[in-house]
Structure 1
Amino acid sequence: MSTDQDSHIAICFQQVRARIQAAEQRFGREPGSVCLLAVSKRQPLTKLLAAHAAGQCAFGESYVQEGVEKQQALAKQNLQWHFIGRVQSNKTRLIAEHFDWVHGLTSADHARRLADQRPPGRGPLHVCVQVNLSGEASKAGIEPAAAADLVAEIQGMERLRLEGLMTLPAPTDDVAAQRRPFAALRALRDQLATRFGALPTLSMGMSGDLEAAIAEGATMVRVGTALFGERAPV
């Protein structure tokens, strides 16, 4: 039985998908080339179920234990789970065992732990290297100059599949300023691809700047507030 919450979330998903489609058309992107990752951290299961009913299958979680509990509660649904928080050494086993993607990989040590701890019965763990393009000390991510060394190490790990790059730039309402770090990530990806081969994923763009990200080549946008509303307080 549909509830007001279900209807509201369905409308929000329609609106965000419409924004993505409009940006694809406006900036000459192939229709359907940008995937929507629903950032569901600190959102209740009822909202995730409503999102799934609206056709969403990929969800992003930042807290390992919360993500694992949600996966167990929603095991009957065919969902894809992305870890988008900071990777910590004491959490790599849970991440390797339970998640399909990792978006915030910043160290070779964490990569080795994830590769070693990935269960043999599961396919390779899809990973993106997080790059800090804003120079903010508070933001995770490696310096662009260090990306090639980390990419080279990851490519030698059989249980990981390097998909591309991710960034989380400083928020701004200025569209030109929004586009600059996204353009820089695309340029870095293209540079690395000449040496290492295709890196198809650019994970960048959120509720407030997804159009700018799509303009600069995003293949996956991570959207939470525009889909679910404000998160519950910690």
Structure 2
Amino acid sequence: MTITQRLKQIRSQISNAELAFNRQPGSVLLLAVSKTKPAEDLAAAYQSGQRHFGENYLQEALGKQQALGAYDITWHFIGPIQSNKTKALATHFDWVHSVDSLKIARRLSDQRPAHLPPLNICLQVNISDEQSKSGITLDELPELCEQVVKLPKLKLRGVMAIPAPQDDFERQRRPYKTLYQAVAKLGRPELDTFSFGMTGDLQAAIAEGSTIVRIGTALFGERNYAGKLV
């Protein structure tokens, strides 16, 4: 199956889930997760109408951005953030989904070039309390929101989460429901973005309010991590 065919299939799955769970048609954005994939694959998806691409590894992403400079792509960074990479992230991306500390947020704001609009930010919440994953706790979310909204070159948009994998549909829904309700209680209308849901739990995420689903393997095929640039 070609990337074009897969893209059509995934879009259909998203549309069907929107309909099944009483979501507004077109309210869920497909973010194509293109880590470890060559620029040619992104170009193929772009030519089939895909405009939003998510990358996990900075150096790899910068190479693709250079190769695809003629394309009108919206670039999202979704990987763990190290302090020494914030300047490049602030300069070369439109969205950063994986902010998990005030220190990182401040650096992104301070290093965002003056000629660019504020950087769209999601706060990563470790909703399943997994030791191996980045992210703040739910208890830390209100205070970090309070601080991040004050930063002049950032635009706080919402939250991102990667729950522990579950096979059961109802179990997949629970962490997303918990996070959605926690954000709703904050009473911040600017928090309009819920970056959650991947290939294995797309329907559960859409059922519980996702506005961005991050799809990689189902679109581009299995990943090759050999020789990747971080």
Residues of 1 paired with 2:39 and 2:66: CA distance?
11
1:191-210 mapped onto 2 (5 Å cutoff):
191-192=185-186, 194=187, 196-210=188-202
Residues of 2 paired with 1:68 and 1:160: CA distance?
21
The answer to whether structure 1 residue 38 and structure 2 residue 32 are counterparts is: yes
1:4 is aligned to: none
> Structure 2: which amino acid aligns with 1:110?
I
Runs of 4+ in structure 1 deviating by more than 4 angstroms, as ranges, are none
Residues of 1 paired with 2:225 and 2:29: CA distance?
28
Residues 156 and 190, structure 2, Cα contact 8 Å, conserved in 1: no
Q: Which runs of 5+ in 1 are unaligned?
A: 1-6
Q: Which runs of 5+ in 2 are unaligned?
A: none
Deviations 1:133-166 (A, max 9, x none): 1111001110000001110111001100000011
CA shift for structure 1 position 173: 1.1
1:176 is aligned to: 170
> 3-state DSSP class of the match of 1:104?
strand
1:227 is aligned to: 219
> Structure 2: which amino acid aligns with 1:70?
K
1:17 is aligned to: 11
CA shift for structure 1 position 197: 3.4
Aligned CA-pair RMSD: 0.8
CA shift for structure 1 position 45: 1.1
- The alignment-based identity, stated in percent, is 50
Q: TM-score, normalised by structure 2?
A: 0.97
> Structure 2: which amino acid aligns with 1:220?
I
1:95-110 mapped onto 2 (5 Å cutoff):
95-110=89-104
Deviations 1:77-135 (A, max 9, x none): 00000000011100000000000000010000000000000000111100000101111
The answer to whether structure 1 residue 90 and structure 2 residue 84 are counterparts is: yes
Residues of 2 paired with 1:125 and 1:35: CA distance?
18
CA shift for structure 1 position 233: 2.3
1:111 is aligned to: 105
Residues of 1 paired with 2:225 and 2:146: CA distance?
39
1:129 is aligned to: 123
The answer to whether structure 1 residue 148 and structure 2 residue 148 are counterparts is: no
CA shift for structure 1 position 198: 3.0
Residues of 1 paired with 2:99 and 2:146: CA distance?
13
